[in-house]
Amino acid sequence: MIQSVPSLLILLPEGADPAAHAEALAWAQSAAEQGDFPLRVLAACQAPGGWEEVPGRREWRVQPDSGKSGFALIRARWKLLKAEHAREPFCFVLTLASDDQRGAGLWRAFCKPHAFVLRLWAGVEHLETGWLHKLALKRHTAVNFFATLAIAEGMRSAGNADLLLDNPYILTASPLSCEENDRRLKEALEAMSRPSRSRHALKPVSDWSHIRLTYITHFYLNQNRTETVTALLEHYASYAPDLLDRIHFVIVDDGSPLRIEPPELNLNLTWLRVNEDIRWNQGGARNLGVTYAKSDNMLLSDLDLMFPEETLRALTEARPCGKNIFKFKEKDEATGQLRKGHPNTFFLSRARFLRFYGYDEEFTGNYGAEDFRFVKFQKSQGSRQRYFDQRYPYYVRHEIDRKNSYHSLTRDLSNNTPVDSRKRFENEAWGHEHGHSRMALDFTWTLLAQRRRPGIFQPTEDRGWKRRWLLRTLLPWG
């Protein structure tokens, strides 16, 4: 993965006078300072007057010319970058000449470092063709910066039709080192190295790709106290940091008369509130929670259940659920006895949930049957229901005060029984995907909080994953 403090290396061409590249150096130095990127320059000469060394932040390293040309020079630059990256890793290498770009691109192609190759085009050049040049200048150059639009257009008309450069970035302001271009380089470096970041005149970006489990629960409180919700989250916040990095908690307030503010906890947390007070809208609340899930594997649970740390860890490390909908055993804390689990608690795939329309919100407004019909409808479409590993149960939260910190709605199946009977008939009589009204999110809601833990779980490198694309294409489960 990209290092936590990515640095920028500038590779000056062999035999070059730093004065000839002063504007490019000023442009890169300003952007690096604004974005807090350590800067390193490799050159064959001493630093120019006015260059100030700052330990850990700014460095000028003298590297004697190789005296080579052509492919020998390209190979020399390749070896130089390999040695320099081994000495002290960097995230970006900015090249100013074609042979340097080719050397950097081939180093990137064959050594596969976690680094990006950049090129600044300050003038029009005729480029050599051939697969090695295409590999270096196109496939393994992350960004080709063009100092002006005229240079970009000139490159197209300079006999380079067979080697039109990929990944262009045209700098429209003038001169090269100005506030606008400095900002654009800084933002380009941040876009490549900082998935979560602020953006100029746009909403901030927040990356959630490290999430492996989304825990969705909902509540409706119309009594006196709110600790039923907050105590559960406070308990989960005490779990191991590396586990919490990978779990996204989605909490849905189902229009509670009792207002609750999202607690300040160090969790990956999304907190939603349904604006309308709809009785028995738990199906709708779960549909809403699934909409905001950041992972495919999801845990749908009621508020009165608690999952121990080892169970949540097993869920974060589980394979994709695919067609499976897992139930859980319930464990008695006093006796350790396992018993049949709650009928509306599931570990399943978000894609599978949405493929067959989620919970049918025709049941909302009255108690019951939406969970039973959800399972029956999923199974009729080929989903498989089974128990998760019995070593990983859940506990019932007996400490909940159901007279003061819960809800007082009446449980009566009468109104939903005929609805469920009709849906069963539709599914049995008419078959594929019949028996579901497609009613979903038939209400409005407000996003009250979206918070992300500052740490990111670093995934294990898998260089062979891309090469296995054919296997994923052929296997029925992807």
Tens digit of pLDDT per residue, the chain (478 long)?
A: 334 578 999 999 988 777 888 899 999 999 999 999 999 999 988 888 778 888 878 899 988 888 888 889 999 999 999 999 999 999 999 999 999 999 999 999 999 898 999 999 998 888 877 788 888 888 899 999 999 989 888 887 766 655 567 889 999 888 999 999 999 999 999 999 888 788 877 788 888 999 999 999 999 988 677 788 999 999 999 999 999 999 999 999 999 988 889 999 999 999 999 999 999 999 999 999 999 999 999 999 999 999 999 999 999 999 999 999 999 999 998 899 999 988 899 999 999 999 999 999 999 988 888 999 999 999 999 999 999 999 999 999 988 776 665 566 778 888 889 998 999 999 999 989 999 999 999 999 999 999 999 866 667 788 888 888 888 888 765 5
Residue 275 in contact with residue 442, Cβ under 8 Å? no
CA Rg, the chain, in Å?
Answer: 29
Q: Which tokens sit at 383?
A: 């989903």
Helices (H) and strands (E) in the chain, counts: 14, 21
CATH class of the domain at 213-451: alpha beta
Residue 364 in contact with residue 385, Cβ under 8 Å? no
- What is the model's pLDDT at position 408? 66
The crossing angle, in degrees rounded to 10, of helices 370-380 and 282-291 is 50
- What is the model's pLDDT at position 1? 38
- What is the model's pLDDT at position 235? 97
Rounded to an integer, what distance in angstroms lies between the CA atom of residue 346 and that of residue 353? 11
Give the domain ranges of the chain.
8-205, 213-451
Domains 8-205 and 213-451 share a fold: no
> pTM of the entire structure?
0.86
- What is the model's pLDDT at position 317? 96
- What is the model's pLDDT at position 4? 56
Amino acid occupying residue 410 = T
> Backbone phi, then psi, for 267, in 5-degree steps?
-130, 155
Amino acid occupying residue 165 = L
Rounded to an integer, what distance in angstroms lies between the CA atom of residue 394 and that of residue 310? 10
Burial of 67 per CB tally in 10 Å (0-12, 13-18, 19+): exposed
For strand 305-306 and strand 297-300, is the pairing parallel, antiparallel, or unpaired?
unpaired
- What is the model's pLDDT at position 132? 81
Q: Which tokens sit at 105?
A: 């691109």
Q: Classify domain 8-205 by CATH number.
A: 3.40.50.2000
Whether the bond between 175 and the residue before it is cis, its omega within 30 degrees of 0, is yes
Query: Does residue 105 sit in helix, strand or coil?
Result: helix
For residue 327, give the H/E element and its range: strand 324-327
**422-440: b (≥16 Cβ within 10 Å) or e:** ebbeebeeeeeeebbeebb
Beta partners for 331?
A: 338
